[in-house]
Each structure stands twice: as structure tokens, then as C-alpha cells.
Structure 1
Amino acid sequence: MKKTKLSDLKFEDLFRREPEAGRLFFNNRRALIFDAATMGVLRRQLLSTMGWELAMGVLSRFGYEHGSNDAEMLGRKFNWETDTDWLASGPFLHTLEGLVHVTPQKIEFDRGTGHFHMHGIWLNSYEAETHLKLFGLSAAGPVCWTLAGYASGYASSFFGKSLLAIETECVGKGDARCYFEIRPVEKWGPEALPYLSALQAVNVAERLRESESRFYDIALSSSDWIWEIDADGLYTYCSPGVTKILGYTPGELTGKKHFYDFFAPEEREQLKTSQLEIFSRKADFNLFVSRNLHKNGEMVILETKGVPILDRGGILLGYRGSVTDITERKRLEASLLQSEKLSAVGQLAAGVAHEINNPLGIILGFAQSVVRKIKEDDALALPLKTIEREAIRCKNLVQNLLVFSRASKSETLEELDLNTAMEGVLSLILAQAKARNVELVRELGSGLPKVNANQIQLQQVVLNLAHNAIDAMPKGGTLTIRTALPGRRPGYVELRVLDTGTGIPKDLQKRIFEPFFTTKEAGKGTGLGLSLAYEIIHKHGGAIELESEEGQGTEFTVYLPVHSAATLLAGGAA
């Protein structure tokens, strides 16, 4: 193959046109013709959007890739007579392309020792001319970014070592000429810092973009809601997780809603004030728990974490963080706490019940024996009957305590139809309802799967709930007993007891299932009815929930697992 010298390169031999196809080729690569003014527009846009350092880094990297590719291409295509011809062909290509006229002044290199030193003149640099027209003389630093990048890339690819070209003089800075110098990176001193910092800025930007991409992927896949707000608390970013948690799409919140807009109305101002106080201190916050209103009207409990976003001067720009829905966790925690309370009280109740049962049986037996023998007009008849009545009341209380403590013997579970069990107890409720001017409404769903339950205990739960509901409607009202398949709890059957009574105050609702807690007058309630109902349903593998508003009524919802699930919970009993 014929040896090639630098002088053999001719523009006409390298340039090829295909006008019918709308293409130009230079050195067998497709080429595009841009005027210098267009490249100036690109420089101006980069500077305005990225700033000086990053714009310099981008154009330097662009030039570097161009120079590196040219060196590899020229090395493969031609059989150069000398390495110097190969090295000088890069500047010559730049001259042919009209970017700058390059005149090397000195070329020294030794591949064996790693020595490299080259410098020369850039004449008619398009970058220097364009920069002067757009911005005037530069006081910020180097001007010929792509030319320096090209020289660095070409020389590094040619020499197989990291070399750095630096603009030592430039007409764009007010010098008489543009002059460049190329050395190994480690041979440069402080003058290399602007170039290295610019390239580092590009690396940082690339890592930031990769980080943002990872963040976006995580935000998309996370069940949590990732968010950002500005300094006023307005959402500037919401991940798709918000839809699962609050029911809104990201677009319904971003730029339209503040972080406090979804707090429970009765707590909104207090929670807003608390959060804004944290913002004023620019402090992190963790495990901030709040009640929030879902789009469907339900209340959800959310746990929020956040960190401040600050500018370089320490000014608060906003916050970013995540939200986790802990509604179910809080329900389970409350259920566990209630179970622990009931277990402790139950152990006490079992012992007390057993201790009382025997002497109570003796008292009741003797009282009933004497009552049967004594005459009605006897002066002791009334006191004895009172003893009998109260002894029976105590016996019933002991039986409740035994059920409550799980010491009752009648705990056999059976497969039963919930509606059939309700029909049996509704007749008992109806008489009391009529006497208290309460309308009893039955809404029993059809086709419900069977449950595994103790019918007597289940009926006792409904009786307790119904009696409490009737007591809460002293002026009459409506009591509704409803059975259905719940939409949000597959695998369960639900039983609802609703009244239009006085409702339960918010501050008492947390204690409503505690044993011996009652809102009734002394002598009208033992405080065991609801705790007993809770214990029975819990023992059946189900759950009981309360919703109430003062003056609007109360709704208790009982969830019972269908037969297959209940069988597992009951240890296989069928």
C-alpha cells in the first residue's frame, strides 16, 4: 500500500456530493454545512441554559469526540509515511473544513518515554469571531472550546495517552492572536483547571441525569408517594403513588394543591402550623403522622418524611420526601393493643368469675328454694325475690365474664348462614324496637357464602349492638341491620348495624371497646357489651369497626371470614 504524506491530502479528493440524494460526504463520512452564526446560536443557548462552565464542558466534549474519531479514521484509512504526517493531518482537516487555519509551530513526541509537546497558531478561529460578535471580549476564561477539545481528542487518540490542549492566547480575550499548546494532562499546572472543571461539570451532569432516571424509576415502582413542594407548600412534583394513597392523579396536585389541603378538616390548622414551624427551622422531619381525606371521602392515616431543599446561600426552596399509607397498620396496632388489654382483663375476669361462681350458686340456690316455699304476703317475700333477681343478674354477669375471658365451654363453631342467624335474633330485637318507637329495617343480602361461627355468640354480638343502638335513640329513630359482601375486603361477609341516634363523641371512640367502659348511667350498663362483642368477633378471625358522628348516628361493621378462611383461623374445625 502506497505511503501517504500530509501533502497528499487534497480537499477535492476528500469531498463528495450526492445532490440527487441530498447528501454531502467529507472523507467518506456524511457531512453537514452550518454557518458560523448558527454555531453561535448554539453557544448562546448553551450559555443561557447551562451557565459558562457546563456549556464549556459540553462543547469541549463535543470537540474531543470529533477529534478522537478523526484520528482513528485517518489512522485506519491511510498508510502514513510518518507519525508526524498522521498527527498533522488532524489540524489540516480543520483547515480544509473552514473551522480554523492551524499552523503548528512545534511538534515533539516520543511514544517510548511518553513525552508529548505541541503548540501552534489558530488563525481565523470561527469560535473567537463568533464569540466577539455575540458577547464581546471574554473576561471569564477560554473562548475556543471546541477547537481545544478537538485538539485534545485528536492528540490523545493518536498518542494513546491523555493529552490536554489549552488556549494560551485568544483574540476573543483581547490578545493579538489565538495560540494553543498540547501536553500530557499531568504536565499542566493551574492553567488546566478551567478545562478540567468544565469536563468535570459534564460528568456531574451525566451522573445527575442517571440519578434522576433512577429516582424516576424508583418513584414509578414505589407504593409510596414521592413528592416535592416549593417554599409555600405547593406541590411541584408527585409520583404516581399518590393515586393509590389519596386517589388523585399527579396532575391534579402538581402546581394546584398545597401539602395541607388534605389534612382532616378538624386538624388542618393545627397540623399546618406544626409543619410550617418545622419549615421555618429548615429541619428534617420523620414519622409525621396525619389523618388525610381520600378523594373518595374516606379518612386515611399517612406517615410522612421530608428533607429541606436549600440553595447555595442556605435559602429554603422547598421540601422533598415520601408518604406511606399506614391506615391498615394503625388499625392492626389498635387491634393488637385492644387484644392485649382484653387478654389482661380476661385473665383477671376468669379468676374472679370462677371464684364467684360457687358461692353465687349457693346463694342463688338457697334464695330460690326459700322463695318457692314462702307465701306472697310474707314480709320477707320481696327482699328474698330481690336477692334472687340480683343473684341471677350476677350469674349472667359471671357468664359474660367467662365468655369474655375465653373460659366459656360453649365455643363450638359450625358452618352457618348469616342471614338465617340474623332472622333468629331480629325477632328479639323487634319487640324492644317497637316499645322504644324505633323502626327496624332489614337489608339482608342474597347469595352470601356461609361462615364458620358460633351462632349463639354471633347473635349475642348483634343483640348487644342493637340494644346500644336503641338506647342511643331515646326519641325514636331507625335501626338498620344489613348483610352484604364487602367491596374492600374480599373473602369476608359484612354485617352492619346502623342507627340514627345521638352518635359517639370523637374523644370516646378510641375507648369504646375497652372492658368496663360505658357511657350509660350507673346501673344501666356493665361496660362489657362492646368489649365482649370485640372479643367474640376477634376470636372468629374477623374484625369490628366503628364510624360515628355526633348528632348523625353510629355504624358498626362486623367482618366475618367466609367458610374456607374461617376454617383456617379456627384451626381446621368445620
Structure 2
Amino acid sequence: MSNKTLTSQNQVLSRIRAVNLYHLAGIIILAEIITAVMNTIMGIIWWGRVSYDLIMIGTVDAFVAAVVVGTVVLSIIEHLRETDRRYHELAEREIEELALHESEERFREIFEQNDDALLIISPEAGEIIDVNPAAISLYGYTQQEFIAGGLPLILMPREYEQLRSEVRSVDAAGRLRIARIANRKKDGTIIIASVWGMAVQLKKSKVLFCSFRNITERLRLEEEAKLLQAKLIQTNKMTSLGMLVSGIAHEINNPNHIIMVNAQMVSDAWKDAAEVLSDYYRGHGDFPLGGVPFSEMRYIVPQLLAAMSEGSGRINNMVDNLKDFSKQGRAALGNAVDINKVIAASAALLNNQIQKFTDFFQLREGIDLPPAKGNKQQLEQVVINLIMNALQSLRQRSEAVIVSTLFDEEADAILITVRDEGIGIPQEVLKHITEPFYTTRIDEGGTGLGLSISFSIIKDHQGSLTFLSEPGKGTTATISLPVYRYTTERNRHATAHIS
């Protein structure tokens, strides 16, 4: 049995000996190399490095081959990892750029489609970087003109400095707010705008994103609402005054009528009595009459009676003027009005105030004035208000108030001027004096309605009311009214009445 086995082994060995030992050695080395390389790759996969513990077996050739292969594989893996990292970075950058592009597109759409004028401004230099179509439409400048001209293009020097000052003092939150500021359009029109702005970061630079909203119309409507309120207040006052004047007129007219009638009767009686008393005086000499010698009394009594009649007549005229003045708004604005009568009636109503404030009040009535077109009562109200303001501006009784009328042929208008030598009005105040409820005499009971209503009345008459003033040198108020023209139709069907 054992011999048989040995025979088999000998057969195997004889076959092995027949194999080329060189090839067998190469196969063994290749196997070791493959094993070492595989171990190297597995080490790289598991630990991310070449594991020398795994390849320090076998021949030197296998070790060298494993190191070379490991180095190459590591290099390839690192390259793949770097490529993957760069790919992800590029992908993230593209996503960010896409998001930024979409954001810029949305901003551009909002910027260009906004109804308000939007300006992007450099805070440091005050230059305009960009404008939207609404700004171009509002101001009338092209985008290139905006960028070339900057803010001085739409702002006067004072307003420009105001905005620059506000820009320099933007609050901590980077916000800018200006409630109202005057702007200038390309055609020279002045508008009022409210400004809202916010500091933003744009492409590594800080800019101011500003909205200029045109509030001119809103302010005009607010002024009209205030004026309407003032007119309602004045209408209520005039209604109350009308009722009061009506009652006073009735109470005054009755005794005044008695005075007028009795004064005339006494005057007639005195004429008869004076003849008898004169005959007695010639025959018997002088005698006392009421403690005064008849020789003097015969001249005094007619003067007293004339003064009584004149005073009674003045009372009657005063009551009539008050009654006319209280009839506000009952007549149309197209009547023919004698302006000289208007200023005379106004001065008569203010006689006590005139005596209180000045020793130098003058009425200078123009000669041959054509009638003005308007409403007598309303024009009297305006003149009274202007005269009263002039009187209240005087510092001493030696300062004068002069009211004059004239016809301006070139302008085809009737002019009424009320000039005083009072304290004058500062320019900052002068531009506000026709605003409703604006007053500098609130402590003295001023309501700020007089000049605003006067301005409105003259505007309704298609005229103008202007003021010139210099502090310390007085003020001149000028009313310009259209001339009343008698049309052929009116002459044919009606007789014109001049009030």
C-alpha cells in the first residue's frame, strides 16, 4: 500500500520537474504581486492609505509593485475626490449665481414697474447711479441726463443741501425720511415730494435706494379741505352776524328814526322861532337862551340841529353797511361794483379801529374808475380784513395806512392797494400767510382764517391777491380785479346796476 502511494508521488514529482522552473518562479512572484496589490487597494479602501503591514510579505518585487500601484491608486482617488469637490463647489456657485440672478431680475422688475420715482444714489458723492421709468416720466429727464446731472438737476441749492445733510445723517437702521421737499421738473415746474430711502449693499458698494413720491396734488387737496372748513366756519360766523345785525338794526333804527324826524321838526320850528326871537332881540337887546346869549345861540342852534341830523344819518348808513356786509354769498360774483364805494364803506365800518391805531389814515380814490366785476359784500370783507391787518401791524400812531384804487389799463384790471408803515412780515412767514389756520397772533385770538378766506374770495373773483413786505418797513397788499364789461345783450334787456 505504501509502495503504491510512493509510486504516485514519484509520478507527480516527475511531472513537476518537467515544468520550466523559471515560469513557475514568475507565476509565484506574480501571485505575490497580485496579493500585495490587492492588499494595498483594500487598505486604501478601508483606511485611506497604503498599509505596509499588509504588503510586507512576499518578495521585494511584490512590495515595490504594491507601493507603486498604491501610490497610483491613491493619486487617482485624490484626483477623483478633488474633482468631486470642485464639481460640488461649481454646482453650489452656479446655484448661488442663479439665485442672485433671479433676485436681481425680481429687483429690476420691482424697480422698473414701481409707480413712484425711484433713484439709486451714492451716499458719499450724492451722484445718481440709476433711475426707474417713473422718475423719467415725472421729472422729464432722460436716464443719461439724470446720471450726468445728479441731484442738483431736480433740487434747488437749498433743498439739495437739505437732502445731502439728511443723507449724511442716515439713522442706524440705514433709513432716510423727508416728509416734504420741493423738487424741480425739467420744464421748471415746482412739485412737492416726500422722500423715503434705505441704505443697501450693491456689488460691494453701499448705495441709497430712494423713493420720491409726488405729493403736490395731495397737499393741494388738503389745503382745499382746510379752506373749505374755514369757509364753513366763516359762513356760520356770518350767518350768526347777520342775525345779530338784523336784530341790532331793528333796535337802532327805531330810535334813530325818531331822532331824524324830530331833528327835522325842531329845525323847522327853530326857523320860525328864530324870526320872532330876532325881532325881540332888535327891540329889546340881547337876552339869555339856555344860559347862552341869543346873539350867539342863533348861530349855535342851527349847527346843533345839523349835527344831530348828520349824526343820525351816519347811524343809518352804518346800520345799512352792517346789513349789507352780513349778506355774504347772497349775490352772484358777476355784478358791476364801484370799488371806490367799497373802500369808503370798509373804512366807515372800521372808523373806531382807525381812530384807535393811527393819526394818518388816507383813502386815495382813483378817478373815473370803471366798475369791477364781483360781489360788493365779499369785496368789502376782503378790504376790511386787509385794513385791519395793516392797523394791527403799526407800532405807533404816527405810522400811516394808505388805501388807494387805480385802473391798470395795460392789465385791464382794477387795483386796490393797502399799504402800511408797520413792522413788516419776514419772508419765511410771508409765504404761509394765506394758508388756512396759519397765524402769528394766536395769543391775541387770531384764527388764521382772515387772509386765507380773503385769498379764496379774490381767487373766486378771477383776480389776484399779492403781498410785498420788508421787516421794519411795512407791507403792501395788492388786489387785482377784472373790469366789468357791459355786453350788448345786457344793455338790450336790462339796465346795469352798479352797487
Query: TM-score, normalised on structure 2?
Result: 0.49
Task: Specify the structure having the higher radius of gyration (Cα).
Answer: 2
Which protein has the bigger strand share?
1
Query: TM-score, normalised on structure 1?
Result: 0.43
Which protein has the bigger helix share?
2
